[in-house]
Structure 1
Amino acid sequence: MRRPTPDPIRPGQESVWDYPRPPRVEHVDRRVRVVLGGETIVDTGDVVRVLETSHPPVYYLPIAAFVSGALTPGEGSSFCEFKGGARYLDVHGGGEIRPRAAWNYPNPAPGYEALANRVALYPAAMDLCTVGGVEVTPQAGGFYGGWITPDVVGPFKGEPGSMGW
């Protein structure tokens, strides 16, 4: 399948088609807030994002920044050819539980050490996720955990017709 035509970029935006493969990890100067069950379960400015071709950024937040009890071990695991072995976590907030709604890399592969002791969340499973005060749109598809904000343009992996990108 051919690479799609990237969406036009306006001032202040970046294209996921300019992101690298293998993915790049970078610290960002933005505050991230996540709400589940009406409760803010994390609100932090200690934010790392992973950028990979065709995917909106995935935000990784310090485990220690979550309210007590918000993260518990979940079922299953997966493997990323770049980042290594991931474990899933259940997310709790406001009396609600979202099974396997988060993941982390307890022993990330070389080059991805910045992900140690951090967690990524599926924004579709949360009530609200914000980056820099802006509400996030979840990346399409149940497997992907990208966070779409107005400053990121696609098209994005996970949308209909994107299989094979």
Structure 2
Amino acid sequence: MSDERDVEDVWQYPRPPALDPSTEHVVVEIGGRVLVDTRAAVRVLETSHPPTYYLPMADVDTSMLRPREGSTWCEWKGAASYVDVVAPVRTVPAGAWTYPSPTPRFEALIDHLALYPGRMDRCTVDGEVVQAQEGDFYGGWVTSRVHGPFKGAPGTLGW
């Protein structure tokens, strides 16, 4: 649990977003398996959003990923490619994404995977269970380290 001097106000995060390498211990579980276990994540910090954690593919069980058709466009990072997360007991369609060829400013995200924490069984940061950012579009990770209000909930799209 963070103490007060560690708390981040997401309204102080920059726009365009910033990259923040992290040594926090991040674990993602789904279907009784560990999808990710890393201490080398990169947090993307953007005004009004809880951080999105980008997880190095070297620490991802890639046997649980299945590429899918389609992409989306981020004004900052470029084209995102999506993958299904396939666990023994269930599949999460488009549960994660990558930036295979991001814009130069975000090249550190190459060979990293981001995911929707609310679609996994459990995501933890330094042992703390993550709450998912509200909404279907964003993949923010809410922990005691960050305070909002956060964009994503109904009525916040115009913020």
TM-score, structure 1 length as denominator?
0.91
What corresponds to 1:101 in structure 2?
95
- Residue in structure 2 matching 1:155, options 126, 149, 156: 149
1:124 aligns with 2:157: no
> Which letter does structure 1 place at the counterpart of 2:88?
G
SS of 1:74's equivalent?
strand
Equivalent pairs, count: 157
User: Equivalences for 1:62-77 in 2 at 5 Å?
Assistant: 62-77=56-71
Stretches of 4+ aligned residues off by more than 3 angstroms:
none
Distance 1:146 1:160 in 2: 15
What corresponds to 2:137 in structure 1?
143
TM-score, structure 2 length as denominator?
0.94
Distance 2:99 2:51 in 1: 17
Q: Deviations over 1:54-111 (max 9, x none)?
A: 0000000012211241111023200101000100111122332101000010001011
Distance 2:96 2:67 in 1: 10
**Mean CA deviation greater in 101-110 or 67-76:** 67-76
**Mean CA deviation greater in 46-55 or 91-100:** 91-100
What corresponds to 2:24 in structure 1?
30
What corresponds to 1:3 in structure 2?
none
Name the structure with the higher helix share.
2
What corresponds to 1:5 in structure 2?
none
Q: Deviations over 1:132-155 (max 9, x none)?
A: 111000000001100000110000
Distance 1:41 1:15 in 2: 29
SS of 2:63's equivalent?
coil
Distance 1:62 1:72 in 2: 17
Distance 2:85 2:142 in 1: 21
Decide whether the 8 Å contact of 1:61 with 1:120 is kept in 2: yes
What corresponds to 1:39 in structure 2?
33
Cα-Cα RMSD: 1.3
SS of 1:72's equivalent?
strand
Decide whether the 8 Å contact of 1:74 with 1:89 is kept in 2: yes
Decide whether the 8 Å contact of 1:75 with 1:100 is kept in 2: no
Distance 2:101 2:66 in 1: 18
> Which letter does structure 1 place at the counterpart of 2:7?
Q
**Mean CA deviation greater in 9-18 or 68-77:** 9-18
